[in-house]
């Protein structure tokens, strides 16, 4: 059983997630166990070896596929059996996006992106948020692409006022349904499947912040900016993955009073920004 702080970073064997893991390992040393997670742990082994070669022996590798409830449930069992059933910090980083040159029809892109980035996020939250104790923190790696202004004023109000996840889910389902008919713009949504999925993530994060405030758990959303990665590309993005990870680490490592003051907010470059 572990008495150390337990930190879980989803989708974290490369890119921004990897840098979050590395920076948190360096910050905490033997005061924390940081979980690097991946759909396929065999592909992540070299990343684990990389960190351990640097003397960062406080990192653990685990299988976690946010699109699979069974995978998330098995990961929860791992924490319950070996880590006192506690996750002090949950960092939701895992996501997917179709390339700009993707040939799949928008209806398919919308369905798959929302299924992974929004509903996968909810699966993680449903299973793992109950393990976050009083004084814990949840950081959602969202995107400026999830801006509220991409939907009609009707949906802006619905999402801003939402007090339950079902309300957000209803909006996401309506977007996917409209996209199946090629009528997403007429229905009040944007033409960005990724942007809409991150809009849902941010809205859900704000609902969770409201719901968990009584338990003294902070929930914050952040935008890492356009960073070099396999998902975003390596030539055009101006920021490094480490730069994208910086605000996550800042939010996770500050004192809890400061975390609670920021709960429900949306951050980039260590400052709050408009949603």
The domain locations on the chain are: 5-97+120-144+198-272
CB atoms within 10 A of CB 246: 20
What digits encode the pLDDT tens for the residues 50-89?
Answer: 999 999 999 999 999 999 999 999 999 999 999 999 999 9
Above 50 in pLDDT, residue 125? yes
What digits encode the pLDDT tens for the residues 208-230?
Answer: 999 999 999 999 999 997 666 66
Q: Give the CATH number of domain 5-97+120-144+198-272.
A: 3.40.50.720
Strands (E), 49-191: 59-63, 89-92, 137-141
> CA–CA separation, 115 vs 113, rounded Å?
5
Q: What are phi and psi of 138, to 5 degrees?
A: -125, 125
Strands (E), 150-272: 218-222, 266-268, 271-272
pLDDT band at residue 6 under the 50/70/90 scheme? very high
> CA–CA separation, 15 vs 212, rounded Å?
29
pLDDT band at residue 114 under the 50/70/90 scheme? very high
28 is known as an active-site residue: no
Among residues 195, 191, 184, 111, the alpha carbon closest in space to that of 146 is found at 195
As a whole number, mean pLDDT of residues 245-263 equals: 98
What digits encode the pLDDT tens for the residues 139-170?
Answer: 999 999 999 999 999 999 999 999 999 999 99
What's the whole-model pTM score?
Answer: 0.95
The catalytic position among 28, 118, 155, 194 is 194
């Amino acid at each position: 059983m572990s008495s150390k702080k337990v930190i879980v970073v989803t989708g974290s064997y490369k890119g921004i997630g990897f840098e979050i893991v590395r920076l948190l390992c360096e910050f905490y040393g033997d005061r924390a166990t940081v979980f690097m997670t991946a759909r396929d742990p065999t592909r992540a082994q070299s990343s684990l070896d990389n960190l351990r070669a640097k003397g960062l022996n406080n990192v653990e590798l685990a299988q976690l596929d946010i699109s699979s409830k069974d995978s998330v449930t098995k990961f929860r069992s791992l924490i319950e059996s070996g880590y006192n059933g506690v996750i002090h910090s949950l960092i939701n980083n895992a996501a997917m996006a179709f390339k700009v040159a993707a040939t799949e029809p928008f209806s398919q892109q919308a369905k798959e992106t929302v299924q992974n980035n929004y509903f996968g996020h909810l699966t993680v939250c449903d299973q793992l948020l109950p393990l976050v104790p009083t004084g814990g923190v949840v950081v959602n790696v969202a995107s400026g692409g999830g801006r509220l202004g991409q939907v009609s004023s009707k949906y802006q109000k619905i999402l801003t006022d939402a007090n339950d996840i079902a309300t957000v889910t209803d909006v996401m389902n309506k977007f996917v349904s409209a996209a199946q008919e090629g009528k997403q713009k007429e229905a009040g949504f944007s033409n960005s499947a990724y942007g809409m999925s991150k809009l849902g993530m941010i809205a859900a994060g704000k609902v969770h912040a409201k719901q968990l405030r009584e338990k003294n758990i902070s929930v914050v959303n952040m935008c890492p900016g356009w960073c070099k990665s396999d998902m975003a590309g390596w030539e055009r993005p101006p920021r490094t993955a480490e730069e994208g990870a910086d605000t996550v680490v800042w939010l996770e490592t500050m004192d809890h009073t400061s975390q609670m003051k920021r709960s429900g907010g949306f951050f980039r470059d260590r400052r709050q920004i408009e949603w």
